Amino acid sequence: MVYDRYGRPIRDIRVSLTHRCNLRCIYCHGEGELDPSGELEAYEIERIVGVAAGEGIRRVKLTGGEPLLRRDIFELVERVSSVPGIEEVSMTTNATLLADKACELREVGLKRVNVSLDSLVPERYREITGFDELNSVLRGVDEALAAGLSPIKLNMVLLRGLNENEFWDLVRFSKSKGAILQVIELVDLGNEVFQRFHVDVKPLEEELGSYAERVVTRRSMQNRKKYFLPGGAEVEVVRPVHNSDFCSNCTRIRLTSDGKLKPCLMRSDNLIDIIGPLRRGADSKTLRELFLKAVELREPYYGAKGVSRLPKCSQ
């Protein structure tokens, strides 16, 4: 396993398969990508994931945009899941296209999915995403469950004046599906969206704590807390990057859809181009050096407040 300068182990890689999406969510930051000029081929992603696996990466999260827009998605999942050393391939999806693909995705190696689901009210879902696709999403959740893509996590970005009153409805829905509800505090990008829709999750965490039978703090996942509620409901609370624990416990590196290694989600000034050298015939040693350089460039970033210097740690 490889460590960055602050002693944080790099355990997983988040791979953006495309910048394209069929929804227009009001809070989307596009994985922090600026201007992707193209998409990687499946075999190129496989090669880069192989480099990461050689440095101890064991988990791959496929994202977008919307990853299911890729026509070669089955080939891609199969290639990545077959890389020696990779133990789990998962996917974050809006699930609008999932219903007809869930079974085959499971067959070619996908283990589980995170589904974006910010509202159970059709009109509100349309207001948040720009499209009337709630029924497609719900069908996708059901088909994913039937295919064995579990545990399913349902991602709810908390939005003031839109869905904050639906929290307990989503808890009950998640419990009924045997899914985990992941409540996400809106990221501070210093824009109007944050000012208009941000909800502080601290009061919600206090309420959850008063109901929970058990609370687990998962340091390997940005120090987030998981609440086990009576009756079997499970809720995780994700505080964003202006929460110091998010950065100090981050174990992830990213690959953009156009082939750049991205040391930090919220920074785009320290990208490492890996696809250029790969396409020019770079050998495995050169690609490994590029990966390690990206790891070396990882620095904590606390939202709009800028870079925070954590003390360097021993490995």
Residue pLDDT, tens place only, 28-71: 877 656 555 689 999 999 999 999 999 999 999 999 999 999 99
Task: Report the alpha-carbon distance of residue 52 to residue 44 in Å, rounded.
Answer: 13
Q: If we measure between CA atoms, which residue out of 27, 51, 241 comes closest to residue 116?
A: 27
Q: If we measure between CA atoms, which residue out of 103, 16, 91 comes closest to residue 59?
A: 91
Domains and CATH numbers, the chain: 12-302 (3.20.20.70)
Task: Report the alpha-carbon distance of residue 133 to residue 95 in Å, rounded.
Answer: 9
Query: pTM here?
Result: 0.91
**Residue 314 vs residue 155, higher pLDDT:** 155
**Of the ranges 131-135, 216-220, 272-276, which one carries the lowest mean pLDDT score?**
216-220
pLDDT digits (tens, 9 = 90+) for 290-308: 999 999 999 865 543 444 4
Q: What pLDDT band is residue 266 in, cutting at 50, 70 and 90?
A: confident
- Asked if 112 and 151 count as a contact pair (C-beta separation under 8 A), the reply is yes
**Residue 166 vs residue 222, higher pLDDT:** 166
Q: What's the whole-number average pLDDT of the chain?
A: 90
Q: Environment class of residue 159 by beta-carbon count within 10 Å: exposed (0-12), middle (13-18) or buried (19+)?
A: buried
Task: Report the alpha-carbon distance of residue 126 to residue 110 in Å, rounded.
Answer: 28
